[in-house]
């Protein structure tokens, strides 16, 4: 079981504690998070950083998978402990980003259940 899986399993009810556990059971602080949004409308990558004294969130908006992989590597090199990908990433896209970061950090992805997807599709229709 990965460090990320242990973290999620122990903190399903709240990630706001900002702590996780490594495989040896030692407490580790969660302080650096990344998110990548993908849409073809982003012809140039855009980056935003939100910082407090205890936490950094970096958000990239990218237009394609190649730029997403570069953004993920940059965030991993800057210490991101977890990078999540938006729902526009398909399984092959996600696996490409995972391969690109080569284990430097955990990669997750956003998803929604069928009921929420239906609401989203209704919103798209206007």
**Between 4 and 122, the higher pLDDT residue:** 122
The neighbouring-strand residues paired with 108 are 84
Q: How confident is the model at residue 100 (pLDDT cuts 50, 70, 90)?
A: very high
Q: How confident is the model at residue 21 (pLDDT cuts 50, 70, 90)?
A: low
Lowest mean pLDDT among 43-47, 81-85, 113-117: 113-117
One domain for residues 25 and 36: no
Close Cβ partners of 60 (under 8 Å, ≥ 6 residues apart):
34, 35, 36, 37, 45, 46, 47, 68, 71, 75
Query: How much is the pTM?
Result: 0.78
One domain for residues 26 and 53: no
One domain for residues 60 and 101: yes
Distance of alpha carbon 36 from alpha carbon 84, whole angstroms: 6
One domain for residues 49 and 26: no
Q: What residue numbers bound the domain in which 114 lies?
A: 31-125
One domain for residues 45 and 1: no
Give me the percent of the chain exceeding a pLDDT of 90: 71
One domain for residues 12 and 42: no
One domain for residues 47 and 78: yes
Domain total of the chain: 2
């Amino acid at each position: 079981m990965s460090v990320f899986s242990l973290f999620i399993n122990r903190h399903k009810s709240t990630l706001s504690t900002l702590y996780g556990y490594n495989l040896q059971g030692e407490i580790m602080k969660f302080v650096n998070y990344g998110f990548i949004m993908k849409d073809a409308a982003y012809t140039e990558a855009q980056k935003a950083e939100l910082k407090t004294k205890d936490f950094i969130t970096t958000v990239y908006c990218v237009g394609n998978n190649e730029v997403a992989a570069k953004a993920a590597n940059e965030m991993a090199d800057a210490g991101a402990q977890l990078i999540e990908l938006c729902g526009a990433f398909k399984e092959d896209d996600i696996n490409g980003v995972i391969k690109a970061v080569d284990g430097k950090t955990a990669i997750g992805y956003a998803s929604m259940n069928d009921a929420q997807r239906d609401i989203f599709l209704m919103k798209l229709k206007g």
